[in-house]
Amino acid sequence: MQDSILAVEGVSLRFGGVRALTEVSFEVRRGEVFSVIGPNGAGKTSMVNCVSGRYRPTEGRIAFEGQDITRLPPSRRAPLGIGRTFQNLALFGHMTVLDNIMVGRHHLLKAGFLRGMAHWIGGARAEEIVHRREVEDIIDFLEIQHVRKAPAGTLPYGLRKRVELARAIALKPKLILLDEPMAGMNLEEKEDMARFILDLNQEWDMTVLMIEHDMGVVMDISSRVMVLDFGRRIAEGTPDEVLAHPQVRRAYLGEAVEEAAA
């Protein structure tokens, strides 16, 4: 069978009396596009934050490639191969696009302070050339060549979303977490983004864990979908299976549908 890259087992997350997540379990298989959907406040972002390490689950266990990462700080998870983007844009506004992306390579840059000082003899220069080449590949791929020297804060929204994606890719993650990559985009931008995500998945061999509200996109590009409602997993399966699931219909369309159907 396909092996799992991420295994979430019985994760609960409480903030005081508020239960953001209740015993959520799922597996993401290597090489798939896995989407998490659900109404507002269902706990989707909380789930992603648990995986990226921003939140620590109150209960449960999260394993990445078989390694337990439940208690690992976020800065240690990135080098393992977990990259992410944020729901609300989180670029370093005063830095250029290029610098933003280079931060993403932080853990891959080996030359530390001292070797960096001896720029030309310590191999730091050769190293930088290799990195710059890979960064340029990413820039080409996302079609942001024309803004590479621009301060990220000055770019229009759609481009900023792409730069943020570029920064996450620069990490060379095996698993990339996308928190609403298409929120606030127009149709054309959404199509571009969907294409980028598919390419990432197929050509760059990244497993994608995505939160998205646009049902059309989710159903088109996902291998499997999980539905959360009030912090609980109510369904999981292929897009078609999930769409047909009665509880999903209730969560999305309200009780009335069920009553009408009954």
Partner 1 sequence: MEWALLLQLVLNGLIVGALYGVVAMSFVLIYKASQVVNFAQGEFMLVGAWVCWWLLTRWQLPFWIGFPICLAFMTLFGIIVQIVVLRPLIGEPVISVIMATVGLSIFFQALMKWMFGVFAQPFPPIFPAERISLFGLQLQSVYLLSLALSAVIMLGFWWFFTFSKHGLAMRATAFDQQVAQSLGVSVPRVFAMSWAISAVVSAVAGVVVGVVSGVSSGLSFYGIKVFPAVILGGLDSIVGAMLGGLIVGVLENLAQYVDAQWLNWGNMTNIAPFYALVLILLIKPYGLFGTKNIERV
Residues that bind partner 1 (CB under 8 A): 52-54, 73-76, 78-79, 83-84, 86, 90, 92-95, 99, 102-104, 106-107, 109, 111-113, 116, 119, 167-168, 171
- Closer to partner 1 by CB, 208 or 235: give it: 208
CB 128 within 8 A of CB 62: no
End-to-end CA distance of the chain: 39
- Closer to partner 1 by CB, 34 or 86: give it: 86
Cα–Cα distances in angstroms (integers) from residue 176 to residues 83, 110, 140, 216, 226, in the given order: 5, 22, 19, 21, 16
At residue 37, what are phi and psi to the nearest 5 degrees?
Answer: -125, 170
Closest distance to partner 1 from the beta carbon of 106 (Å): 5
Closest distance to partner 1 from the beta carbon of 80 (Å): 9
How far is it, in rounded angstroms, from Cα 87 to Cα 208? 15
Closest distance to partner 1 from the beta carbon of 70 (Å): 16
Closest distance to partner 1 from the beta carbon of 240 (Å): 33
Closest CA to 144 of 217, 207, 75, 193: 193
Closest distance to partner 1 from the beta carbon of 198 (Å): 23
The distance of Cα 183 from the centroid of its chain, to the nearest Å, equals 13
- Closer to partner 1 by CB, 179 or 214: give it: 179
Closest distance to partner 1 from the beta carbon of 230 (Å): 25
How far is it, in rounded angstroms, from Cα 135 to Cα 98? 8
- Closer to partner 1 by CB, 95 or 219: give it: 95
- Closer to partner 1 by CB, 10 or 93: give it: 93
- Closer to partner 1 by CB, 23 or 99: give it: 99
Tokens of 198: 């598919």
The distance of Cα 192 from the centroid of its chain, to the nearest Å, equals 17
